[in-house]
Chain A
Amino acid sequence: MTHWIIAPILIPALAGLLLLLEVRERQRLRRVTGLLSCIALIPVALVLWQQAAQGDVGVYQLGNWQAPFGIVLVLDKLSALMLLLTAVLALPALLYGCAGDDRRGPNFHSLFQFQLMGINGAFLTGDLFNLFVFFEVLLIASYGLALHGRGPERVKAGLHYVVLNLAGSALFLIALGLIYGTTGTLNMADFAVKAQALEGSDQILLTVAVLLLWVVFGLKAALFPLYFWLPATYANATAPVAALFAIMTKVGIYAILRMQALAFSDGPLAGLGSDLLWWLALVTLGLAAIGALAAQRLGGLVAYLVVMSVGTLVAALSLGDPETVGPALYYLIHSTLICGALFLLCDLLRRSRGDSDDRLESGPPLAHGNWLGAAFFAAAVAVVGLPPLSGFVGKVALLQAVPSAPYWALLLLGGLAGLMGLSRAGSTLFWRVHGEVVGKTLGKRRVFAMLALLLMSPALTLAAEPLLQLCAGVADQLADQTIYIRAVLGGAS
């Protein structure tokens, strides 16, 4: 009996709880606890990836109850990849937080760990209701984190975020109720099997349920017209939180991908709602490009770039073709890490600009302007998809995989809009300066954390071929849903 699968959930949970027992004032101990957990998650994720890479789907039956009756955790290549990505993002984000942002309000470290627990749980669970529970775990933690620190803007954005997601949770429950009411099961694999057999009114009800699920996941993923909360929430969140949130939209995308691959890739329900996703994603891409062009703050600009990556990804994934899923996963890794880096970088700039904050207007000259400028330039090149960094590889791969004129046009023009927005932002922030340097010192930890994420981009570029192969492997496994179903239901299918 191997218990590795549940480790990504239990490690942060344990750390989060220990943090509650620790003395509040012992900041150092709290940081060490949090960081240790994040460090531990990386080898754990690697071990899990190692297991998943064999091609088998690992199943962990909680309470020793067999599926579909008990809850199972399922580890396939996709979950393992997402776990690894989360771990790689979380450590630098937390390290950045340990440079002082964690003291701007109570319980930062616990919330951070619980957030990780929720995200990892959502990636692992093979049960729909359990997915709901983990969504709630990650949401409630994200509420707390989004509001970490102070300020009316943050509270306002947080309030919007919370209310929208509470409405989303209600919808999620309705969809789950319908799924249970029509298929009589909550297990994802069992659902995939039973859904194929539905007909008549049950099929219509199931369609409603699935479309509602798409709305719920679309809200998490920030798809048009459900992304409106994102720019304000992300732009106003504390830097390490915003960086961690780079993975949050990907949880929604993951859920869509998982459900689609499992239940709607073929059979009578094939492609259910994928047209809708395709068009909504394209609109998202276009509107996010427009938003990036219009942004008045760097934080807002980066947030729109996040939305743009969502549109790019969901459009490609909605096609449900393994040929597109592979490149899309590469792009997902790239965009998550680089957006995380950009949020941290944005905060470093804020710190050096005093009252000008991250507004795109003339401000004081930056201390360390050269190095920050170089980092900004690299991040901008990476995120808009120019060579020589990973965005270019991702973009070329996606363009080759998705032969559709509107997609090409939007992706390329979106890149241009991002380029225009970022070049304006960069030349304003670094070059249109007046007055005296006001910046505080940046802090070695912060710079290190930011660089750690930023340097992922050249790493992703150098290792592009093996990574693309790896993503293609994930996509291939995903394309054959029988592997997953047989592993969970034990040949019952």
Chain B
Amino acid sequence: MELLVALIIGVLVATGVYLCLRARTFSVVLGLTLLGYGVNVFLFSMGGLKINQVAVVGASADPTDPLTQALVLTAIVIGFAMTAFLVVLALRSQGEQHSDHVDGQDGEQRS
């Protein structure tokens, strides 16, 4: 199961990284969102995986690590705030530069 989760993390991070490197704001938003998923699952996995052991006192014999969950929760919220900001910034960029290219100009391919 851990292998499966590691695989998922790997794929999420890799796809996220790849999309972050694209030229369109929308793709970058997608990439950062995927990267965010990957990072959240990664952070979550740092507490170890447990099945049916929710961290509620009295509900499970060997509760899972509650701290990483709390951290991920914070990370999700912050990530949401950041994504929202970026999305709107992308709109602003489109509005001011009339292009959804991350460098504000279309077509031109620069290294």
Contacts and interface: CB of A to CB of B under 8 A. Distances in A.
A257 interface: no
Given A178-B46, A180-B46, A160 B102 contact: yes
Interface string A106-137: 00000000000000000000000100010010
Interface in B62-111: 67-68, 71, 74-75, 78-79, 81-82, 85-86, 89-90, 92-93, 96-97, 102-104
Interface residues of A, number: 28
Contacts of A176: 43, 71
23 contacts: A129-B71, A133-B78, A136-B78, A136-B82, A140-B81, A151-B96, A152-B97, A156-B103, A156-B104, A158-B89, A159-B102, A159-B104, A163-B86, A166-B32, A167-B32, A173-B39, A174-B43, A176-B43, A176-B71, A177-B43, A177-B46, A181-B46, A181-B47
Given A133-B78, A155-B96, A163-B102, A174 B25 contact: no
Contacts of A159: 25, 89-90, 93, 102, 104
A160 B104 CA distance: 10
Contacts of B89: 143, 147, 155, 158-159, 162
Q: Quick one: which of B36, B47, B90, B96 has the most chain A CB within 10 A?
A: B96
A-B CB proximity, top 7 nearest: A181-B46, A177-B46, A177-B43, A156-B104, A152-B96, A173-B39, A170-B39
A136 B36 CA distance: 14
The binding surface of chain A is classed by DSSP as helix
Nearest to A167: B20
A147 B102 CA distance: 15
Given A140-B85, A155-B97, A180-B46, A170 B104 contact: no
Chain B contact patch, size range: 20 to 34
A162 to B, nearest CB: 6
B85 A162 contact: yes
Contacts of B79: 169
Interface of B: 16, 20, 25, 28, 32, 35-36, 39-40, 42-43, 45-47, 67-68, 71, 74-75, 78-79, 81-82, 85-86, 89-90, 92-93, 96-97, 102-104
Contacts of B20: 163, 167
Interface of A: 129, 133, 136, 140, 143, 147, 150-152, 155-156, 158-160, 162-163, 166-167, 169-170, 173-174, 176-178, 180-181, 186
A174 B102 CA distance: 25
Contacts of B96: 150-152, 155
A143 B92 contact: no
Contacts of B43: 173-174, 176-177
Contacts of A167: 20, 32, 35
Contacts of A170: 16, 32, 35-36, 39
B86 A166 contact: yes
B27 to A, nearest CB: 11
A70 to B, nearest CB: 12
B8 to A, nearest CB: 15
B18 to A, nearest CB: 13
A329 B92 CA distance: 39
A166 B43 CA distance: 16
A180 B81 CA distance: 24
A19 to B, nearest CB: 19
Contacts of B28: 163
A166 B46 contact: no
Nearest to A69: B67
B107 to A, nearest CB: 16
Given A143-B85, A155-B92, A173-B39, 14 more contacts: A133-B74, A133-B78, A136-B78, A150-B96, A152-B104, A155-B89, A155-B93, A159-B102, A159-B104, A163-B32, A167-B32, A173-B42, A177-B46, A181-B46
Contacts of A158: 89
A160 B93 CA distance: 11
Nearest to A161: B89
Given A152-B96, A155-B92, A173 B102 contact: no
A159 B39 CA distance: 22
A160 B96 CA distance: 15
Nearest to A137: B78
B57 to A, nearest CB: 16
Nearest to B97: A152
A174 B45 CA distance: 11
B92 to A, nearest CB: 6
A212 to B, nearest CB: 12
A177 B85 contact: no
A177 B79 CA distance: 16
A374 to B, nearest CB: 38
Contacts of A136: 78, 82
A362 B16 CA distance: 47
